Amino acid sequence: MIATTVVIILHTAADLVFFKEIKDFTLDTVMYYHSDFEPTLATGKKMQRMAIAIDDKTYREWGVPVITPRNKLKMLIEKSAQREVFYCSLISLLTAKCRMKNK
C-alpha cells in the first residue's frame, strides 16, 4: 500500500514546475559540458558525422512516398560509408499541406 502511494505521488510530482526546472537545469548543464566534446574513434581519429536533409523538391522527385524508399536510403547510406561517416542522421524538411473535409 505504501509503495503504491509513493509511486502515484512520484508520477504526479514529475509534472510539477519545481521538478521540471531541476530536470531542465540538469540537461542544460550536461549539454553545456559536452558542447566542446569532439568524438573520436578508438584509433584517435575524429569521428565523421553527416546530416542529410530531404527537401520538398527531392521528395517530389521520389514520387511523394509515404515511407522513404529503401533504394534511396541504401544510396544515402552507401555514400556515407564511402566517406567513412560514423554517424549519419536523416532529416525530412517537408512542408505539410492538409485539407480538412467539411462534414
Q: Which residue has the cell 566517406?
A: 83
Can you tell me the distance from the alpha carbon of 28 to that of 22, in angstroms, rounded to the nearest whole number? 10
pLDDT at 13: 77
pLDDT at 102: 53
CA contacts within 13 A on the Cβ side of 27: 6
CA dihedral 64, 66, 67, 71 (to 10 degrees): -30
pLDDT at 95: 61
Mind listing the pLDDT tens digit of every residue in the chain (103 residues)?
Answer: 889 998 888 778 777 778 788 888 888 888 887 766 777 777 877 877 777 778 788 888 888 777 778 888 888 888 888 887 777 777 766 665 555 555 4
With beta carbons less than 8 A apart as the criterion, state whether 38 and 46 touch. Answer: yes
pLDDT at 101: 55
pLDDT at 29: 86
